[in-house]
Amino acid sequence: MIMRYQLQFLFLLIVTNASFLHAQEVDLNNELDSGKQKPKTEYINYTFQSSRIINGHSIEIIPKGMMDFRIAHRFGTLNGGFYELFGLDNASMRMSFDFGLAPNLMVGVGRSTYQKQYDGFVKYRFLRQSKGERTMPISAAIASSVMLTTLKWQDPTRENLFSSRLQYAHQLILARKFSEGTSLQLMPTLVHYNLVTKATDPNDILALGIGGRQRITQMISVNAEYYYLFPGSRFEGTTNSFSMGFDIETGGHVFQLHFTNSRGMTERTFISETAGSWGKGNILFGFNISRMFNLQRKRR
C-alpha cells in the first residue's frame, strides 16, 4: 500500500516538473522572439552645430517652432596694423531671424550694413542621413536666396529699375557625418545678377563650395569652408573665399569665432565679390552669435 502511494507521488512529481520546465521553455522562447524586433530607422543629428558653417549654409535645419536670432560681425583687415587696431576700427554687421516651419523646412530674413543689403532665403532638406531599417549615406538640401542692394544709384539721372537691385543664389547642399567628430559638405552654387557693372562681367557665377567640421571637445569644433569659382565665372579682381574658425556651444547659444578673406555675409558678396587675399594679409576677424527661441506655446 505504501509502495503504491510512493509511486503515485513520484509520478505526480515528474508530471509537475515536466509542466514547469515546459512553461520555462515557452517563456524563454517568448523573450527571444520579443528581442528580435525590426530594426528602426535612426536619423543622424548634428552634422554641424549651427545652420551656418561660417558664412554659408550648413545642412542643418532649425527645428519646427523655433527662431534663431543671429548677429554676425566682420571687422577690417588685420594688415591695417595698430593704427586701425588690426581691423577693429572698421566693422560691418548682419542681423537675421531664421524660422523653423517644418522638420525639414526653414526660412530666414536678414539685413547687412555692408552695401545696405536685405536678404531672404528658404532651405529644404529632402534627404537625411540615416541607418537601421532605412539606410541613407548622405543628407541633401536645396537653399535659394534673394538679395536686395539699397545703395543709392550711382547715376540717378538715368532710368534705374528696381529689378537691377536684385541678385539670386541657388545651392545644392550634400553632407555626410562620418563620425561623431567629423563632417564634410559640398555646395554646388549658382549666383545670378540681374545687372552687372561691366558688359564683360558674367551675370551668372558658378562656384563649388566645400565645408567641414572637426569636433575637438563636447562643446568646441573647428570649422572651415572654401568656395572655388569656375573659370569664366568671376569678376575682375576677385578671388576665392576661404574661412576658418571655431564653434563654441553654450546651452542655447552658439558662438562662432573665425577668420576670413570675405567682407560680405550674403551668398552674393562672399562667393562672387571676395577681393581679399590670405597671402597678402587681407584677413578679417569676425564672429557670429546665435540664440534660439521657442515660439511654440507650452501645453498645460
Domain boundaries, the chain: 42-294
Residue 30 confidence (pLDDT): 53
Number of CB atoms found within 10 A of residue 59's CB: 28
Residue 245 confidence (pLDDT): 93
- Percent of the chain surpassing pLDDT 90: 51
Residue 253 confidence (pLDDT): 75
Mean pLDDT of the chain: 84
Q: Quote the CA–CA distance of 267 and 300 in Å, as a whole number.
A: 42
Angle at the Cα of 52 from the Cα atoms of 132 and 213, rounded to 5 degrees? 60
Does residue 32 surpass a pLDDT of 70? no
Does residue 111 surpass a pLDDT of 70? yes
Residue 102 confidence (pLDDT): 93
The pLDDT confidence band at residue 1, using thresholds 50, 70 and 90, is very low
Q: Quote the CA–CA distance of 269 and 35 in Å, as a whole number.
A: 56
Q: Which one is predicted more confidently, 16 or 160?
A: 160
Which range has the worst mean pLDDT, 14-28, 71-85, 229-243? 14-28
Residue 20 confidence (pLDDT): 39
pTM of the model: 0.81
Q: What phi, psi does 6 have (nearest 5°)?
A: -65, -40
Superfamily of domain 42-294: monomeric porin ompg (2.40.160.40)
The pLDDT confidence band at residue 92, using thresholds 50, 70 and 90, is confident
Q: Quote the CA–CA distance of 247 and 226 in Å, as a whole number.
A: 17
Which amino acid makes up residue 172?
L
62-81 mean pLDDT: 86
Does residue 78 surpass a pLDDT of 50? yes
Does residue 217 surpass a pLDDT of 60? yes
Q: Quote the CA–CA distance of 268 and 249 in Å, as a whole number.
A: 28
Looking only at the bridges linking them, the beta strands covering 130-131 and 117-127 are unpaired
212-234 mean pLDDT: 92
17-40 mean pLDDT: 51
The pLDDT confidence band at residue 297, using thresholds 50, 70 and 90, is confident
Residue 129 confidence (pLDDT): 93
Q: What phi, psi does 12 have (nearest 5°)?
A: -65, -40
